[in-house]
Structure 1
Amino acid sequence: MLFTALFVIVVTFLVLRGWTTSSLRLPPGPRQVPLLGNVHQLPSMGHQRTFAEWGKRYGDVIYARLFQTPAIVVNSMAAAQELLDKRSAKYSHRPRFILLQELMGWDVMTHFSYGERWRRHRKWIAGAFQDKDALLSYRPLQRRETYILLSGLMDTPQQFMGHIRRFTAAMIMEIAYGHCVESSNDKYIHLAERAASVTLESGDAGAMLVDFFPTLRYLPLWCPGAGFKRKAFAARKVIQELLDTPYEMVKSAMMKGIARPCFTASLLEESIQEGTLRSDEHEIKGAAGLLYGAATDTTSAVLGTFMLAMVRCPDVYQKARSEIDRVVGTERFPDFDDRASLPYLECVIWEVLRWNCPVPLALPHKTAVRDEYRGYEIPANAMVIPNIWAMTHDIEAYSAPDAFRPERFMEMDAQTLASRDPRNVVFGFGRRACPGQDFADSSVWLACACIVATVDIRQTLDESGKCITPPAVFDDVFVSHPKRFSCDIRPRSQKAKSMVADFITNHVT
């Protein structure tokens, strides 16, 4: 009787805790060790390549443990789309980001768990970047900043990456805060770059331990081993300044009646009318700050990769230019309506996104409930890691994936092309997909088209006059930028230079 009673108690306890035995097995994965799980098998940087190597042995859906946290690594487009897109209700949560969100102060939508607060922020941002009328209203801004970018490339070509960063920052600053950026020395650009820098410096692998062992956040600052916390708190001051300063600029302008229409002013006006400003200020700051922080870094990484690819592949550059000359001519700049008539340029941009996807490992998702896939169990509360780099370097989908070859997309039939379009994955998945995708995509396209049409990009020469081909190497951090490289940028012709100068004179100065 005693044994029976104990048996009933144990079974009841397991059922109540949700620990009933599953008839399904977990996906295959590397052997684990106690406590560490598989963490000891990961390098300090470049996890995407290690996950891809695991994929060759275990398949495109892998089970691992990061300390005691169950993790599902997804290495293929097909699996990512089935799980994260089609079953997004189960896969739209986030793990707890203690370092970035709670200690450093990046309390923004990308880090929210799925719920009412996330939906509110998503609605705000979707209104600014998914509404067709809003997107059309940004076109004059995109054109203006593109031509300013061309002017910078022609006048001071050695600073080309600075001009690219200014291009991306200027558009978002005007949309988010109504602030017109007049030079790369703009104080708000410097503040954002400083915030990005301290975030990267504070978010090393050792600091991330607090995400797996939350009690570490309570270490006193003076305690040995609390260096990550001291760095995080120092970064928090810079991040808070980034969120506060442009917000206060807009708020002050509204009080004076001189505020320009923008995302922040619109939310402030709505909040004031509803009498909720005091409780909404933190939310509005975070939503506007996310626009700036998320959009500028990724877009500049894409354009930097485009420049590197064009330097390395002059034949591709000339082929794209011939297409533009045939369709657009040389009497005007390429414009949005030309896009459908420039299929090769489209393939070039797709190949840029595939060759060096801007975010190799997307922010991890988290399963809300237990799921089943291909006869495997996907545990509840598991971290789900989409390996976008592996998806865009899948040798079965893209032959010779390390080669930059836009023609690969022209060789695909329509159905295959639709399934292998890198935009399906580089902007994220399901309900977590980037709401600014259309704006970012059109901004990149216009910049690339106008660069090809108006400037020559060549390799620099060494002392003996031999061309220097820059290596295809990229930063192993969250956003993948090309490592510093040099190139020779010149106006294509005096006519092209005059067209840019005339626009600047008539519309900017």
Structure 2
Amino acid sequence: MNSSLHVTACASAVLFVISIAMFLRWMKAESHLRLPPGPNRIPLLGNVHQLPMQSQERKFTQWGAEYAGDIVFAKLFKTPTLVINSLQVAQELLDKRSSKYSYRPDFILLSDLMGWDCVITHMTYGDRFRKHRRWISNAFQDKHSLGSYRPLQRREAYMLLSGLLQSPELFRSHIKRFAAAMILQIAYGHSVTSLDDKFIHLAERAGKETVEYGSAGVMLVDLFPFLKHIPLWMPGSGFKSRAFEIRDLVRKMLDTPFEMVKDAMKSGTASPCLTATLLEEVLSKRAPTAEDEDDIKGTAGVLYGAATDTTVAVLSTFILAMVLHPEVYEKAQAEVDRVVGQDRLPEFEDRESLPYLECVVKEVFRWNCPVPLGLPHKLISNDQYQGFDIPGGSMVIPNIWGMTRNDSFYPEPEMFRPERFEQMDRETAEARDPRKMVFGFGRRICPGQDFADASIWIAIASIVATLDIGVTTDEAGKQAPPTGSFVPGLVSHPEEFSCKITPRSEQVKTVVFEMGANVVL
């Protein structure tokens, strides 16, 4: 045996011995614990080899059924992991024990390498998190603030309708413009006038590249943080090079609109917006530091980088569901016609008078929850639940997709059926409202959920009132319905599909134009 082979063999033997020693140590540490049920683990890998590369939520749901557990314990390499498949358990642990469960695992890939460290979604619980949370809550949870956004939401809903009337084949682009335009106005005072808006493109590209490349909490570098120190010249460091490319996109997305607001403030031309308000708040005390600016960039950036993508996913899902279920759409249109009539568009004040439309919105959220696994939490210290021990440091994954597929709550869960909520009594319908899941839990719940819900409702109500949606036909005149499939990922979007969108009448165009022209911000 030559010397190089001898060295390699010795190194392999040493690594093997170290690995076995580490495994035995972990086994000993766990031997006295009564862990929740879960799949059998093997040395080193734990259960990671049993997880598919995509759609892990389906595997977690299968584990829940197999081990008859609302909670399932697994290990991803050395990381203890608790999967929550039940809304009740999520509320009991993540809501009621939020002081223990509000932390985040170390997102090495997303935060350290890709540059998302300054956004609240990726921060662990602490002073910086609370500061960002306070800023966002002031903007989106105060009743006066929410009310002040309604003219903007109406205007953008009318702009959405106008775009769908003019170029219905670009419905996805119009939905993206709708979602981004509201956030860009609120966060930066920027009015979107075109589908080619540069800020929309910046956010879309940074978000798309991030979601496609990095799934939070499951990349190897997250489970083995030492990998982030691998030199770029070393074999196997390609993930770092790709992460740094995405980091440049993320920085442009965060920096470009922030600098626009700063320049406008210097020249006295800045429009009222969240970024200007936060800068003024800091300036009233001192000159902004680099950390201050990074916090403000992150607070505004998380709105237009993340919130828009989930809104697009929900509205695209609504369009898909209506194409596949014309009977639902016709029933919703009949209700809107009875309440709103033909001479105006729906207003927020009409919402309580449109109970079936409310059921449709709930079913859209349930049928394709926008973020199937949310973002993982981290348990900061040891805990006990239902007689089981949960080790401190565990990654806690709320399987929101699995919760929305609970067939004891939602019979035939794969079916799109808004009537399921009509058939529940008021208390049950409230308890099983999917919006109690899809916006997250505890101190990690989305602070902008009321704004997002209102924006989605006014868009859906406006579309139902004015447009017909149907299946396209091929060249032979045969209907070509979409498959109804979804693209797996951090955010669940429908696969590309086509549909036919037409005005319900000629009067619609006049009503949309007149009401859009009369909106005053």
Q: By the TM > 0.5 criterion, same fold? A: yes
Task: Summarize the Cα distance change of 1:21–1:455 in structure 2 as closer, same or farther, 3 Å threshold.
Answer: closer
What is the TM-score normalised by the length of structure 1? 0.94
**1:153 counterpart SS class:** helix
Per-residue CA deviations over 1:479-507 (Å, capped at 9, x if unaligned) read 00100011000111000111112334555
Query: Contact 1:73–1:386 (CA<8 Å) still a contact in 2?
Result: yes
**2:454 counterpart SS class:** helix
Task: Summarize the Cα distance change of 1:206–1:128 in structure 2 as closer, same or farther, 3 Å threshold.
Answer: closer
**Residue 69 in 1 paired to residue 74 in 2?**
no
Query: Offset of 1:162 from its aligned partner?
Result: 0.2
Match of 1:16 in 2: none
Match of 1:257 in 2: 268
Match of 2:476 in 1: 464
Task: Summarize the Cα distance change of 1:224–1:147 in structure 2 as closer, same or farther, 3 Å threshold.
Answer: same
Match of 2:143 in 1: 132
Match of 1:9 in 2: none
Query: Offset of 1:276 from its aligned partner?
Result: 4.4
Alignment equivalent of 1:476, drawn from 482, 488, 509: 488
Task: Summarize the Cα distance change of 1:86–1:63 in structure 2 as closer, same or farther, 3 Å threshold.
Answer: same
Match of 1:47 in 2: 56
Query: Offset of 1:288 from its aligned partner?
Result: 0.7
Task: Summarize the Cα distance change of 1:483–1:432 in structure 2 as closer, same or farther, 3 Å threshold.
Answer: same
Quick one: distance in 2 between partners of 1:205 and 1:241? Answer: 21
**2:88 counterpart SS class:** helix
Match of 1:305 in 2: 317
Query: Contact 2:164–2:170 (CA<8 Å) still a contact in 1?
Result: yes
**1:70 counterpart SS class:** strand
Per-residue CA deviations over 1:146-192 (Å, capped at 9, x if unaligned) read 00000000110000000000000000000000000001100100111
**Residue 244 in 1 paired to residue 255 in 2?**
yes
**1:360 counterpart SS class:** coil
1:188-203 alignment runs, 5 A limit = 188-203=199-214
Quick one: distance in 2 between partners of 1:237 and 1:68? Answer: 31
Match of 2:103 in 1: 93
Quick one: distance in 2 between partners of 1:504 and 1:438? Answer: 23
Q: 2:232 is aligned with what amino acid?
A: L
Match of 1:104 in 2: 114
Query: Contact 2:217–2:223 (CA<8 Å) still a contact in 1?
Result: no
**2:54 counterpart SS class:** coil
**2:280 counterpart SS class:** helix
Q: 2:80 is aligned with what amino acid?
A: P
Match of 2:305 in 1: 293
The count of residues paired between Structure 1 and Structure 2 equals 491
Query: Offset of 1:429 from its aligned partner?
Result: 0.1
**Residue 80 in 1 paired to residue 90 in 2?**
yes
Query: Offset of 1:273 from its aligned partner?
Result: 1.1
Query: Offset of 1:466 from its aligned partner?
Result: 2.7
Match of 2:326 in 1: 314
Quick one: distance in 1 between partners of 2:97 and 2:379? Answer: 10
**Residue 432 in 1 paired to residue 444 in 2?**
yes
Q: 1:31 is aligned with what amino acid?
A: N
Match of 1:211 in 2: 222
Query: Offset of 1:414 from its aligned partner?
Result: 1.8
Quick one: distance in 2 between partners of 1:206 and 1:396? Answer: 30
**1:316 counterpart SS class:** helix
**Residue 146 in 1 paired to residue 157 in 2?**
yes
Match of 1:343 in 2: 355
Query: Offset of 1:206 from its aligned partner?
Result: 11
Q: 1:38 is aligned with what amino acid?
A: N
Task: Summarize the Cα distance change of 1:207–1:228 in structure 2 as closer, same or farther, 3 Å threshold.
Answer: farther
Query: Offset of 1:353 from its aligned partner?
Result: 0.2
Q: 2:184 is aligned with what amino acid?
A: M
Which ranges in structure 1 are unaligned for 5 or more consecutive residues? 1-18
Query: Offset of 1:207 from its aligned partner?
Result: 8.4
**1:71 counterpart SS class:** strand
Identical-pair percentage: 60
Match of 2:169 in 1: 158
**Residue 171 in 1 paired to residue 182 in 2?**
yes
Quick one: distance in 1 between partners of 2:103 and 2:195? Answer: 37
Quick one: distance in 2 between partners of 1:411 and 1:207? Answer: 40
Quick one: distance in 2 between partners of 1:362 and 1:470? Answer: 27
Per-residue CA deviations over 1:420-469 (Å, capped at 9, x if unaligned) read 10000000000000000000000000000000000000111133323222
Match of 1:29 in 2: 38
Q: 1:375 is aligned with what amino acid?
A: G
Q: 2:211 is aligned with what amino acid?
A: L
